[in-house]
Amino acid sequence: MPIQAVSAATVEKYGVGSCGPRGFYGTIDVHLQLEAELAEHFGTEAAIMYSYDVATIASIIPAFANRKDIIVVDEFCSYPVQSGCTVSRARVATFRHNDVADLERVIQKLEAEEKSKRKPLCRKLIVVEGIYANYGDMAPLDRIWQVKEKYKYRLMVDESHAFGVLGATGRGACEHFNLKPGQVEIIAASMSHAMGSVGGFCVGDRATVEHQRLSGSGYCFSASLPPYLASAGIHMLRQLRGSTGGSGGASGGQPEQLAKLAAKIKALRGELMKGVPGLKLYGGSLPSPLLHLHLAKPSGDGAADRAVLRAVADHMLSCSGVLVSVSCYSKLDTHVPPPSLLLHVTLGLGDKEIALAAAALRRAAKEVLKQ
Amino acid sequence: MSSEDYIAPPFFTIISALFILSVATLFGRIRDVFYFLLNPGKLKKQNEGYAPIRDPTEDFYMRRMYGRIVDCWNRPICSAPDAWVDVMERTRAEDTTGVEVASIVPTGGSRRCLNLSSYNYLGFAASDPYCTPRVQDTIQQLGVSSCSSRVHGGTTSAHTELEELVARFLGVEAALTYGMGFATNSSTIPALVGKGCLILSDALNHSSIVAGTRQSGAKVKVFRHNDAPHLDALLRQSIAEGQPRSHRPWKKIMVIVEGVYSMEGEACCLKEIVEVAKKYKAYIYLDEAHSIGALGRTGRGCCEHWGVDPNDIDIMMGTFTKSFGSCGGYVAGKRETVEYLRRHSPAHLYACSMAPGCVKQVTSALEVMMGLDGSDRGAKKVAQLHDNANYVRSRLLEMGMDVLGSWDSPVMPIMTYNAAKMVALSRICLERSLAMVIVGFPATPVLLTRARICISAAHTREDLDWALSVLDEVADLCLLRYRTQALYTNVEADLKDHVARHFGPALAAEATIAGLAAGSFDMTRARAALRAPAGAKKQGSTGGAKDNGEQVQHEQQPAAKRTRTVAVGEVAAKTPASVSVKLNGVTASVTPVANGYHKASANGTVGAHAKAFVKARAVVAAK
């Protein structure tokens, strides 16, 4: 049954909204079902759903850190992570992007300080993203995990862009780096990317998840996800799992759909790495479906650069019929990334489309950037 | 004044409530001591160099106290949250030891209960003959989700249609929609105010507002719940003192209130608060999460309820979760403000846009409310909701229960004061097929635990009579008839005031709670009588008395004209220019340094930030 039909049927039965937070009769059986299936897919004890993607990590972080605690976070993390850190009021330290040595340095400094002040043991958290939304590159989770184990920090990974893309069964960047379920304490992801629905979720052991049910503000104080979106999520998750032959770990090699997607990512990235005049692809040949193209020679003026990229995007749309977007950041971001041209690889793209997109981009870049 | 000021639990109730809490704590502690003495390994295993996830007190509360009554919350349902709902039965999982958080699992069975808990105020939650087919068509056409943010291709025709309709419904210039009500507050507030600004927040504001104010970095001061004089005093003092330490004038001052407070059922005294805010030239942010659709004769919320001009409110925020049976929220106001938010609000830039099906649900529900579907269903729904709410409120008060809240408000908390009574009430009611929400510590103070009823337009009078008969019995079982006289007298005075404002002073004399409960005084008839003479005027409201006529008038009146009809006569049309004067005016009126400071920083980023609120385009172009 197509996903639209599933959704329409759910709307008929449950209506659209759930009209209440999860605690107050807003928990509908499809929510429980989706949570159970997510936990099963990730091989964790439990899962919890949030009704909005940006609210997911922004409410999980404050649930696990308050004034007394420490958060170490990658400097290039996206806004939801930043806002979660602010709301938590914890002590926030940043480390250089994807620099594990710097992470270790920051942690050592913090540890020394804690020791000298003889502070009681507090909750410590490292927050990274599987695939960084603002750059499209991946966190070196294997090495970060070693640091985390060494210093007894908890690791939180935002898998929003990696879930359903990376790993043998599509569990995300953790699986890609051969981390077993449970090795990373808190995994959060958005359901609005690969899952084609709306909302977000978090998986972990039972204590972690149950704690959020009382402390996750976006969970407690917000109406739950409309049931039809939950059932759409279930439908997609089953498709993903069906194609991977269940959740039986990383045994059966790359399943069909994930392999197809990986091939497409490789094709487009390869195409663009051959060179686009005036633009450079961030991250090179990483298996990330999120492509950020920056100006090769940025003028230093964000607004002007953005206007140039906007012109490239407009040219691509009007002359070749290819829709790409230009990244757009709020003034609330503490670290504003350079403006970039944003491309997403999806399973729906064929070889022809990938070639078309690359050609369109080249043409647009040549014509716009030359002026 | 809030009705919470009039309640006082009897002395014996306080003693018994505290006694029960102490006994439960004591027993929990004893059990913990024995458990960890007998299982030393368990304690050690949890540590391992990591600090525990929960702090020990909280952990104890969760395991030994909350664990006992965990069945009263998170009850799953397996039907639409309509007037009647299927509540799934649950049982405790066997491995619950009290060392871990209790886990209860569904057994598979369910029980059909009367739904007094969902925020389904207008009855749009279930399948609706007008809305549902449109939603299904939209899902077919636009898909389940747009999978991208509003700025990156997540904006569909449905979104723009909804934003236009919301602005039209509210009578403001423009609106912006988000996919989640919580995120609407938590991402709009930091975009509007920042460091050097002052937020005056009502003591009982929702957690999403708290999250937003925390993110903003602004100084937050809390005024007593619904207390305009306190707000006045606080504002005067804050303006005189200026920013902490530097004593510079505040860049912006924003007063944040809610239309109806979700745990009190109380409508915000908007008129007084608007007057105070105007006096000191502060911005007003009104969160209408519970009042939009529920208050006011045509469901246009708190402004209509009090006869306040929506253009006097700088930022109107609300959600679609409640009355409109969908999800998401909106921010509406001046076009400049909304355009500015479009450029800088994180939820607009980064979050996946609202699902098209949810968008269509709101659009079609709004069409019904505005009579654009060609029927008078919308008007009937609001009238039915008010009748239901007022009837139940008067009956409960007559039964001697302590019920808080305002007339017309569909939310009514029944005070239990005692946590044990609250739990008993919830369990007994569920046994008798009544689904009700209970709220206790830490969401409320320890002694102000309560059960909460939400009335819907979908409830019939028979449903409610049945529910009231059940509650009548349960009140005896749980000893809930406190009969606080001060509360009753105050609520009756409120009723007279309410009737005088909405139906004219003539009717106010005969309006009593007893009369309302017995049916001898009927607001429906009063409304019908009011509707009959064509020239009848509704006090302080925006239009004539005829339902349909009023709606049409409301929509087509140009903004400038509307300001003239406001009861508070001194309103000038607020063009962006005059708003920026207002911005400087706050500071200018207090200290002579003000003008110099603003001029000096006008070219810097700080000045741009301050101006951004009113001159969005300048900043959009600059950044």
Tokens at B124, concatenated: 């749009």
Cα B316–Cα B319–Cα B320 angle in degrees, nearest 5:
130
Q: Is residue A251 part of a domain?
A: no
What residue type is B7 in one-letter code?
Answer: I
The closest alpha carbon to A249, from A178, A163, A173, A169, belongs to: A169
The pLDDT of residue B44: 56
In this structure, of A241-245, B478-482, B547-551, the range with the lowest mean pLDDT score is: B547-551
The pLDDT of residue B605: 36
Tokens at B22, concatenated: 């102490």
In angstroms, the CA A294 to CA A297 distance is 9
B121-139 pLDDT, tens per residue? 999 988 889 999 999 999 9
Chain B positions touching A208 (Cβ under 8 A) are 53
Give residue B2's pLDDT band: very low, low, confident or very high (50, 70, 90).
low
DSSP H stretches of helix in B345-442: 346-350, 356-369, 377-398, 419-431
A152 and A214 assigned to the same domain: yes
Cα B262–Cα B263–Cα B265 angle in degrees, nearest 5:
65
In angstroms, the CA B131 to CA B256 distance is 33
The answer to whether B526 touches B509, Cβ cutoff 8 Å, is no
Work out the burial of residue A52: count CB atoms within 10 Å of its CB; fewer than 13 is exposed, 13-18 middle, 19 or more buried: buried
Give residue B562's pLDDT band: very low, low, confident or very high (50, 70, 90).
very low
The average pLDDT across B220-245 equals 93
How many C-beta atoms lie closer than 10 Å to residue A19's C-beta?
Answer: 34
- Predicted confidence (pLDDT) at residue B594 exceeds the cutoff of 60: no
In angstroms, the CA B191 to CA B609 distance is 10
The answer to whether B455 touches B412, Cβ cutoff 8 Å, is yes
What φ, ψ does residue B130 adopt, rounded to 5°? -90, -45
- Provide the phi-psi class of B400: left if phi over 0, else alpha when psi is between -120 and 50, else beta: left
The pLDDT of residue A250: 41
Which residue(s) pair with B84 in the sheet? B114
**B39: helix, strand or coil:** coil
Q: Is residue A198 part of a domain?
A: yes
Strand order across the A340-344 sheet: A279-281, A290-295, A340-344, A325-326
The average pLDDT across B256-262 equals 92
**B137: helix, strand or coil:** helix
Q: Is residue A248 part of a domain?
A: no
Domain with residue A172: its CATH number is: 3.40.640.10
The pLDDT of residue B505: 83
The pLDDT of residue B470: 93
A88 and A160 assigned to the same domain: yes
Residue among A51, A133, A197 minimizing CB distance to B327: A51
The closest alpha carbon to B263, from B394, B447, B404, B386, belongs to: B404
Residue among A15, A58, A124 minimizing CB distance to B127: A15
What percent of chain B is predicted at pLDDT more than 70? 83
The closest alpha carbon to B423, from B159, B160, B154, B65, belongs to: B65
A296 and A166 assigned to the same domain: no
The pLDDT of residue B96: 61
B40-52 pLDDT, tens per residue? 766 655 557 788 8
**B199: helix, strand or coil:** strand
The pLDDT of residue B443: 81
Question: What ipTM does the predicted assembly reach?
Answer: 0.92
The answer to whether B317 touches B116, Cβ cutoff 8 Å, is no
CB contact under 8 A, B182 and A217: yes
In angstroms, the CA B565 to CA B13 distance is 50
Chain B positions touching A207 (Cβ under 8 A) are 53, 100-101
Helices B523-531/B485-503 angle, 10° precision: 20
Q: How far is B405 from chain A (nearest CA, A)?
A: 19
Q: Is residue A343 part of a domain?
A: yes
Chain A positions touching B437 (Cβ under 8 A) are 24-25
Residue among A79, A87, A152 minimizing CB distance to B350: A79
Residues 8-27 of chain A with CB under 8 A from chain B are: 8, 11-20, 22-27
CATH H superfamily, domain B3-41+50-115+381-478: Aspartate Aminotransferase, domain 1 (3.90.1150.10)
> B131-370: which CATH number, 3.40.190.10, 3.90.230.10, 3.40.1190.20, 3.40.640.10?
3.40.640.10
The residue among A207, A241, A275 that closes a domain is A241
A52 and A102 assigned to the same domain: yes
A53 and A166 assigned to the same domain: yes
Ordered per-residue pLDDT tens for chain A, 371 residues: 788 888 999 999 999 999 999 999 999 999 999 999 999 999 999 999 999 999 999 999 999 999 999 999 999 999 999 999 999 999 999 999 999 999 999 999 999 998 999 888 899 999 999 999 999 999 999 999 999 999 999 999 999 999 989 988 889 999 999 998 888 999 999 999 888 899 999 999 888 998 998 889 899 999 999 999 999 999 988 888 875 544 444 434 447 888 889 999 999 999 888 888 888 888 888 889 999 999 988 888 888 899 999 999 999 999 989 999 999 888 888 888 899 999 999 888 888 999 999 999 999 998 888 75
Residues 347-366 of chain B with CB under 8 A from chain A are: 347, 349-352, 354-355, 357-358, 361
How many C-beta atoms lie closer than 10 Å to residue B52's C-beta?
Answer: 14
DSSP H stretches of helix in B153-269: 157-170, 181-192, 207-216, 228-241
Give residue B410's pLDDT band: very low, low, confident or very high (50, 70, 90).
very high
In this structure, of B35-44, B187-196, B530-539, B595-604, the range with the lowest mean pLDDT score is: B595-604
In angstroms, the CA B365 to CA B122 distance is 9
Q: How many domains does chain A have?
A: 2
The closest alpha carbon to B260, from B221, B308, B204, B313, belongs to: B204
A171 and A263 assigned to the same domain: no
Q: Is residue A246 part of a domain?
A: no
Residue numbers of the domain that contains A338:
256-369
A267 and A169 assigned to the same domain: no
pTM of the model: 0.86
Which residue(s) pair with B285 in the sheet? B256, B315
Half-sphere exposure of residue B246, counting CA atoms within 13 Å on the CB side?
11
Give residue B618's pLDDT band: very low, low, confident or very high (50, 70, 90).
very low
The closest alpha carbon to B359, from B196, B123, B156, B517, belongs to: B156
The pLDDT of residue B563: 36
The average pLDDT across B224-240 equals 93
A235 and A283 assigned to the same domain: no
The pLDDT of residue B620: 33
- In whole angstroms, how large is the CA radius of gyration of chain B? 25
Work out the burial of residue B40: count CB atoms within 10 Å of its CB; fewer than 13 is exposed, 13-18 middle, 19 or more buried: exposed
Give residue B1's pLDDT band: very low, low, confident or very high (50, 70, 90).
low
Q: How far is B147 from chain A (nearest CA, A)?
A: 5
The pLDDT of residue A301: 84
The answer to whether A192 touches A199, Cβ cutoff 8 Å, is yes
What φ, ψ does residue B193 adopt, rounded to 5°? -125, 155
Task: Give yes or no for a cis peptide into B442 (omega within 30° of 0).
Answer: yes
In this structure, of B182-186, B318-322, B576-580, the range with the lowest mean pLDDT score is: B576-580
A56 and A115 assigned to the same domain: yes
In angstroms, the CA A188 to CA A129 distance is 9
In angstroms, the CA B218 to CA B197 distance is 5
A220 and A335 assigned to the same domain: no
> What is the full DSSP assignment across B371-392?
TTTSSSHHHHHHHHHHHHHHHH
In angstroms, the CA B115 to CA A120 distance is 48
The residue among A194, A212, A241 that closes a domain is A241
Cα–Cα distance list, A257 to A191, A269, A270, B159, B553 (Å): 18, 18, 20, 32, 56
What percent of chain B is predicted at pLDDT more than 90? 50
Chain B positions touching A2 (Cβ under 8 A) are none
Domains of chain B by residue range: 3-41+50-115+381-478, 131-370, 491-530, 560-616
* Mutation to test the B interface, candidates A25, A61, A325, most B Cβ within 10 Å: A25
The pLDDT of residue B589: 35
A237 and A294 assigned to the same domain: no
Cα–Cα distance list, A366 to A294, A308, A369, B412, B477 (Å): 15, 12, 6, 65, 81
What φ, ψ does residue B396 adopt, rounded to 5°? -65, -40
The average pLDDT across B335-362 equals 92
Helices A100-116/A141-151 angle, 10° precision: 10
CB contact under 8 A, B358 and A303: no
Half-sphere exposure of residue A223, counting CA atoms within 13 Å on the CB side?
32
Chain B positions touching A154 (Cβ under 8 A) are 50
